[in-house]
A and B are shown apart, each in its own frame.
Chain A
Amino acid sequence: MLRNYFKIAIAVLKRRKFFTFISLFGISFTLTILMVGTAFLDKVISPDYPDYKRERSLYVGSMELQNSKEGWLNRSNVSFYFFDHYVSRLKSVEKIGISSYSKASNAYINKKKIVINYKYTNADYWRVLEYRFLEGKPYAEQQILHAERVAVISKAIKKAYFGDVSSVVGQYISADEVNYRVIGVVDNVAKTMRNFAGDMFLPYTVSKENYKKPDLMGSYSAVLLARSKADVPKMKLEFDQMMKKVPIGNKEFDRLYCNADYFFASITRGITGDGKDSGITKAVSVLVALVILFLLLPTINLVNINITRIMERSSEIGVRKAFGASSRTLVYQFIVENMILTFLGGLLGLLFSALMIYFFNSWNLMDGVRLSLNFSVLMYSFLACVFFGLISGVYPAWRMSRLNVVKALKAQ
């Protein structure tokens, strides 16, 4: 039976080539966009260089003070003091990797402007995150304690600043008119890893800001590392309990929010959430709604084409019914045929996606971002194919199955 359906499906596809082109183009183009989009999302969500220990990590990135009576709030990054004074004392936290947000400094090399994005970090930052050192090593506690002007730089800035030289450890690099001695060079971090990407990393003690100032808000964020994956919920609980005891210290505000989030929540909180709500539900709903909307347009198009195509085959429908096909069998046949069309479109979509990703990577369209079509991307795409096939096949098939046999036979 399936072989018969397959033969018919292929014959129908060959019959009206323009319709086939429109159908396949609609499916494959939509799937390509979805697959590349999913590959991008997957890149952002999955553990990636240098943040490989996500299963053991919680992320703290924002501090929110609220005046609930008047309904206004103040939100920013977190102070170094907060991490040092409160978070570092939590028992379930094994290590805290603290870093400031990137600041930009301009340097001029051979009359060419180079922008150096630099961040301040603590020593454990290099233990929590797994940067690949191409030469040299990170700064240690002692160097931080003595506020040594040392720097770890990225491979990209090494090339831009020093040119094609084999080693730069021991040489000096200048940012904001201060010279720093290079002690290590790390591999570049993709721009999608916003919190960890940077051109130069410096000890927090060389910052001009007063990192000891007992404020809650500042310019830092942190990755809290638990001893094991199983300890993460405990760490989260301990963090939340600690937050209840942190004094607000400012009479203008009556509420204080700071969260140790799982990675995905740490992203959504910044986009669709706030201090109280992680924003996951909202973010996922928006994403799902967008995907459905995006899938809906080609689906409606396919439904229309399918109705036209099926009605062209009314004589066949009449014959099949006359010889014993029930309405249900016919619905099944047309859905199977539509699935075959959808999977052909899916295969084409896969091919186009692989090409797009290949060009995206080889033309280096986003610094250091290497996309790939991995298993999860394929799974999502397969689900999208099934969605397409069913949605665009069911309604036309149902309409067709309702055709009166005599009318269907006369239609030829």
Chain B
Amino acid sequence: MIRLQNIEKVYRTDTVETLAVNGISLDIAKGEFLSIMGPSGCGKSTLLNIMGLLDEPSRGTIRIAGQDVSSFSDQRLARFRNEQLGFIFQSYHLINDLQVLDNVELPLLYRSSSARERRDLAAEALEKVGLSNRLKHFPSQLSGGQRQRVAIARAIVGKPQIILADEPTGNLDSAMGNEIMDILINLNQNDGTTVVMVTHDENMANKTHRLVRLFDGSQVQ
């Protein structure tokens, strides 16, 4: 599903060059649930951002769903992200000015779907994460766990093949974290969605199919 070949990411300033990701090659199969672990600053999030086409590698190639995405234009990349990828962030990144339902239907705004269709799909996604009673709430009126569930609903509303989750349980207590993890496992098992998750939590990582460990930008396991 995702094939990374010899990916490198170098951050350059006037005086310093930092190698954030150093020659990583990785194959992630369709329907796989993969977790990435490693100490802070080891390049986990950078790698995830590269997989999510939010950041460009300095070297190496990425193929997602059989397509070489390195030559995609801004428009094409945007459409590809919209159709194939769903993101979950540690700090949720919900738009506080919009109600829960509006937040969830955001990815559908960039497709040709009617307002009614968007509403229905967003409501359906919220029902899946157990928040169908919070449609008209604003993010600020929800707990951390609820916000992350809204973020998951937003990630799955467009029915992407791949979910990329950057420390989705990082800001939550263990009970809430487990709830979120259950939702992700459910998505992976029942819908066949490929999930790649960056985490610090060994327990969460152990629930996934495969664990990749990074250290100083390189893969060590």
Q: Is B truly associated with A?
A: yes
Which residues of the other chain, A, contact B98 by a CB distance below 8 angstroms? 4, 7-8, 11
Set A4, A316, A322, A328: member contacting B75, Cβ < 8 A: A328
Of residues 1 through 44 on chain A, the ones whose CB sits less than 8 Å from some CB of chain B are 1, 3-4, 7-8, 11-12, 15
- Given A7-B102, A316-B95, A406-B55, verify A327-B87 contact (CB < 8 Å): no
Which residues of the other chain, B, contact A406 by a CB distance below 8 angstroms? 49, 54-55
Pick from B106-114, B172-180, B212-220 the stretch touching chain A.
B106-114
Residue B82 at the chain A interface, CB threshold 8 Å: yes
In the assembly, what is the distance between CA of A324 and CA of B86, in Å? Answer: 10
- Given A323-B106, A325-B78, verify A7-B93 contact (CB < 8 Å): no
Which residues of the other chain, B, contact A320 by a CB distance below 8 angstroms? 106
B74 touches A323 (CB 8 A): no
- Interface 1/0 per residue, A384-412 and B, CB below 8 Å: 00000000000000000000111001001
A325 touches B110 (CB 8 A): yes
Which residues of the other chain, B, contact A409 by a CB distance below 8 angstroms? 54, 89, 93
B78 touches A326 (CB 8 A): yes
- Given A3-B115, A4-B109, A324-B110, verify A318-B78 contact (CB < 8 Å): no
Set B93, B102, B107: member contacting A412, Cβ < 8 A: B93
B106, closest chain A residue (CB): A323
Which residues of the other chain, A, contact B91 by a CB distance below 8 angstroms? 412
Which residues of the other chain, A, contact B52 by a CB distance below 8 angstroms? 322
B115 touches A322 (CB 8 A): no
Return A318 CB to nearest CB of chain B, in Å: 7
B78 touches A329 (CB 8 A): yes
Residue B149 at the chain A interface, CB threshold 8 Å: no
Which of B97, B107, B158 has the most chain A CB atoms closer than 10 A to its own CB? B97
A327 touches B74 (CB 8 A): yes
Which residues of the other chain, A, contact B105 by a CB distance below 8 angstroms? 4
Return A324 CB to nearest CB of chain B, in Å: 2
B54, closest chain A residue (CB): A405
B97 touches A7 (CB 8 A): yes
Residue B159 at the chain A interface, CB threshold 8 Å: no
Residue A56 at the chain B interface, CB threshold 8 Å: no
B82 touches A323 (CB 8 A): yes
Of residues 265 through 323 on chain A, the ones whose CB sits less than 8 Å from some CB of chain B are 315-316, 318-323
In the assembly, what is the distance between CA of A292 and CA of B93, in Å? Answer: 41
In the assembly, what is the distance between CA of A318 and CA of B55, in Å? Answer: 12
Which residues of the other chain, B, contact A8 by a CB distance below 8 angstroms? 95, 97-98
Set B81, B97, B102: member contacting A323, Cβ < 8 A: B81
A319 touches B49 (CB 8 A): no
In the assembly, what is the distance between CA of A326 and CA of B87, in Å? Answer: 16
B89, closest chain A residue (CB): A409
Chain B residues touching A, range = 20 to 34
Which of A12, A323, A325, A329 has the most chain B CB atoms closer than 10 A to its own CB? A323
Which residues of the other chain, B, contact A324 by a CB distance below 8 angstroms? 78-79, 81-83, 107, 110-111, 158
- Interface 1/0 per residue, B45-62 and A, CB below 8 Å: 000010010110000000
B115 touches A323 (CB 8 A): no
Which residues of the other chain, B, contact A322 by a CB distance below 8 angstroms? 52, 54, 81, 87
A333, closest chain B residue (CB): B109
Which residues of the other chain, A, contact B75 by a CB distance below 8 angstroms? 326, 328
A409, closest chain B residue (CB): B93
Which residues of the other chain, A, contact B44 by a CB distance below 8 angstroms? none
A323 touches B95 (CB 8 A): no
In the assembly, what is the distance between CA of A321 and CA of B115, in Å? Answer: 20
- Given A326-B75, A329-B78, A405-B55, verify A319-B106 contact (CB < 8 Å): yes
In the assembly, what is the distance between CA of A318 and CA of B102, in Å? Answer: 17
In the assembly, what is the distance between CA of A366 and CA of B55, in Å? Answer: 65
- Interface 1/0 per residue, B28-68 and A, CB below 8 Å: 00000000000000000000010010110000000000000
Residue B147 at the chain A interface, CB threshold 8 Å: no
Which residues of the other chain, A, contact B158 by a CB distance below 8 angstroms? 323-324
Which of B77, B94, B95, B115 has the most chain A CB atoms closer than 10 A to its own CB? B95
Which residues of the other chain, A, contact B110 by a CB distance below 8 angstroms? 323-326, 329
In the assembly, what is the distance between CA of A316 and CA of B91, in Å? Answer: 12
Which of A12, A319, A322, A328 has the most chain B CB atoms closer than 10 A to its own CB? A322
Return A340 CB to nearest CB of chain B, in Å: 14
In the assembly, what is the distance between CA of A260 and CA of B70, in Å? Answer: 70
Which residues of the other chain, B, contact A323 by a CB distance below 8 angstroms? 81-82, 87, 106-107, 110, 154, 158
In the assembly, what is the distance between CA of A1 and CA of B83, in Å? Answer: 18
In the assembly, what is the distance between CA of A321 and CA of B89, in Å? Answer: 14
A328, closest chain B residue (CB): B75
Which residues of the other chain, A, contact B82 by a CB distance below 8 angstroms? 323-324
Of all A-B residue pairs in the complex, the 8 with the closest CB atoms, nearest first, are: A324-B82, A11-B97, A326-B78, A324-B110, A323-B107, A405-B54, A319-B93, A326-B75
What are 30 sample pairs from A and B whose C-beta atoms fall under 8 A apart? A3-B115, A4-B105, A4-B106, A7-B98, A8-B97, A11-B98, A15-B97, A319-B95, A321-B54, A321-B78, A321-B81, A323-B82, A323-B87, A323-B106, A323-B158, A324-B78, A324-B82, A324-B107, A324-B110, A325-B109, A326-B79, A327-B74, A329-B78, A405-B49, A406-B54, A406-B55, A409-B54, A409-B89, A412-B91, A412-B93
Known: A329-B110, A405-B49; 14 extra A-B contacts, CB below 8 A, are A4-B98, A4-B102, A7-B102, A11-B97, A320-B106, A321-B54, A321-B78, A323-B81, A323-B158, A324-B81, A328-B75, A409-B54, A409-B89, A412-B93
